[in-house]
Amino acid sequence: KDGFTSRVSTITSQVTLSQLDKLTEMDINIDVLKQHNLVTKNISRVKVMLSGEINRAINLVGIKPTKGAKAAIEAAKGTVSE
């Protein structure tokens, strides 16, 4: 086997803003994403990517967004908390 495989990559996943917009919950954390099958059960880190758009205010709790995704969430009157 050649190369290097990060152990962190096995517990990390990413979701898009358009996927979050389809959820009905206001407060979104990793458990909510697991309930809606957006991430698998062994995931403990999630990154929100700027893909699509968000049309409602959501509160991200314990999920890190990219710079563009954070700006889009805050423009939609949402919040991001670590």
Once rounded to an integer, what is the mean pLDDT over residues 23-47?
94
CB 19 within 8 A of CB 35: no
Are 43 and 25 contacting, i.e. CB atoms less than 8 angstroms apart? no
Q: What is the pLDDT of residue 28?
A: 95
The single-letter code of the amino acid at 67 is K
The predicted model scores a pTM of 0.86
Tell the residue number behind the tokens 């969430």, with chain if given.
Answer: 73
Q: Which of 47, 42, 50, 61 is nearest to 21 (CA)?
A: 50
- Mean pLDDT (whole number) for 21-29: 94
List CB contacts of 65: < 8 A, sequence separation 6 or more.
Answer: 47, 48, 49, 50, 73, 80
